[in-house]
Amino acid sequence: MTKHAAIHRRDGALHVEGVSAASLVASHGTPLFVYSRAALMSAWDAWMAGIAASNRGVNGPEVKVHVAVKANSNLGVLSVFARLGAGFDIVSGGELRRVLAAGGKAADVVFSGVGKSVEEIREALVAGVKCFNVESIPELSRLDDIAGSLGMKAPVALRINPDVDANTHAYNTTGKKGNKFGIDYGDAREAYAAAASMAHLDVCGVDCHIGSGITDTAPFIAAVDRVLDLVDILESNGIPIAHIDLGGGLGIDYGDGATPPPTPEFVKTILDHVDKRGPRPVWFEPGRSLTAAAGLLLSKVEYLKPGPAGGKNFCIIDAAMNDLARPTVYGAFHRIEAVEERVGDTEVYDVVGPVCESGDWLGRARELNVKVGDLLAVRDTGAYSFVMSSNYNTRPRAAEIIVDGESVHVVRKRETVEQLLSMETVLP
């Protein structure tokens, strides 16, 4: 790789590491998700730097980073982190299988999620996952029954809802009273007493997760304090707690004006705050902060549709809400730029796709200098992007590739309409 950033411009042309975005499209078509291996590794290194800079250094209690598979579950991406020694945070049996297929170890897997099925729990127990983050007393009972039927003890942490406002989108807020996630803080002692009484459970931790895309450290600190207060109460009642799991949720700078603290600073701040109350093992479950900035969605301009006087102009591209749902679902902002810079005047466009929905937009009021056939790059699409894509309007899902220096690896082939139809039959 050159001395430039992983995703950069060279003579005005967008490059991913040592490969031009235009050449990627020439070989692999559009829409196309592109990830930089160097950017993924750099994001991981930032988490490690924060741990190293904390009071933990290299000799303190364990600090383990578990990659949130839901953010980007591509096997190629997961394999990058598995080789770096990451743990993984999963929310389904399918994600467990992905981790194992990517070279991860079940012993490094934390199983979260509110609706674990009997089959998923059984599979995870047999595989030997590290811990179940349990979200309700009924789940505790189910887990105890299944572990007992297998002659096992299930390691558990209870996900406690600390009622902390993360000040993020309502759909991304997970730690307030009324969210479906976790056990209410006021019910935590009763829930832990129930867990401790079950013969086939091994209570080992406390878990919380307050939201996603958070750009302020203060809500995390508030959640840490609530968790540590609970730990003090539990241990005074004879329930030892081996670790605290502080979840993920750290946001990135999407270019929308919300700027999170640098990852190393954030990690050090959280760990140092924990250590004021006494060092103990800490687990994290980041997703977006590890993968988002490493990704691009490349797309081609199909039409430029001028609006009436005083109305909107539309730049219609071949990527759509089925490829990138975040703008439609969350009103999310992603930077959009031309792959090849062109000198001259710009026009203001809403960047939209061909899907038959007025909600099919990727960017509003963007200044662009483009022509039909030009390529656009939607930035920061390495998290919650391909994983949320669909086949709406019978649109095959995009290919995914990873660039590693000057090498290009297809880590997911482009779907075909024939593949979609092969899963269905007409009536006899």
Instruction: Report the distance separating Cα 189 and Cα 249, nearest Å.
Output: 25
pLDDT band at 10 (very low <50, low <70, confident <90, very high): very high
Domain 38-289: assigned CATH number: 3.20.20.10
Tens-digit pLDDT profile for residues 372-384: 999 999 999 999 9
The H or E element spanning position 367 is strand 361-368
pLDDT band at 154 (very low <50, low <70, confident <90, very high): very high
In the chain, domain spans: 7-36+292-421, 38-289
- 35: pLDDT strictly greater than 80: yes
Tens-digit pLDDT profile for residues 383-399: 999 999 999 999 999 99
- 176: pLDDT strictly greater than 80: no
Least confident of 4-8, 130-134, 168-172: 168-172
User: Identical fold at 7-36+292-421 and 38-289?
Assistant: no
**Which residues are designated catalytic?**
356
Class of domain 7-36+292-421: mainly beta
pLDDT in the model for residue 2: 36
Instruction: Report the distance separating Cα 311 and Cα 313, nearest Å.
Output: 7
Burial class (CB in 10 A: 0-12, 13-18, 19+), 311: exposed
Residues in the chain, total:
428
Q: At what angle do helices 263-275 and 37-53 cross, to 10 degrees?
A: 30
pLDDT in the model for residue 174: 46
Q: What count of other Cβ atoms lies within 10 Å of the Cβ of residue 218?
A: 11
Which tokens in the block code for residue 228? Answer: 């540590």
pLDDT in the model for residue 165: 65
To the nearest whole number, what is the mean pLDDT of the chain?
94
CA atoms within 13 A on the CB side of 142: 16
Which tokens in the block code for residue 51? Answer: 């741990």
First to last CA, the chain: 57
Percent of the chain with pLDDT over 90: 89
Q: Is the pTM of this model over 0.85?
A: yes
Please report the sign of the dihedral spanned by the C-alpha atoms of residue 97, residue 99, residue 103, residue 105. Answer: negative
pLDDT in the model for residue 177: 55
Amino acid at 404: D
Tens-digit pLDDT profile for residues 300-351: 999 999 988 888 999 999 999 999 999 999 999 999 999 999 999 999 999 9
Nearest to 371 by CA among 334, 335, 340: 340
Nearest to 234 by CA among 274, 226, 248: 226
Least confident of 163-172, 199-208, 243-252, 415-424: 163-172
- 34: pLDDT strictly greater than 80: yes
Which tokens in the block code for residue 134? Answer: 């349990």
Say which residues have a Cβ less than 8 Å from residue 386's Cβ, sequence separation at least 6: 33, 72, 74, 323, 397, 398, 400, 412
- pLDDT, average across residues 39-53: 97
pLDDT in the model for residue 163: 81
Which tokens in the block code for residue 401? Answer: 């590739």
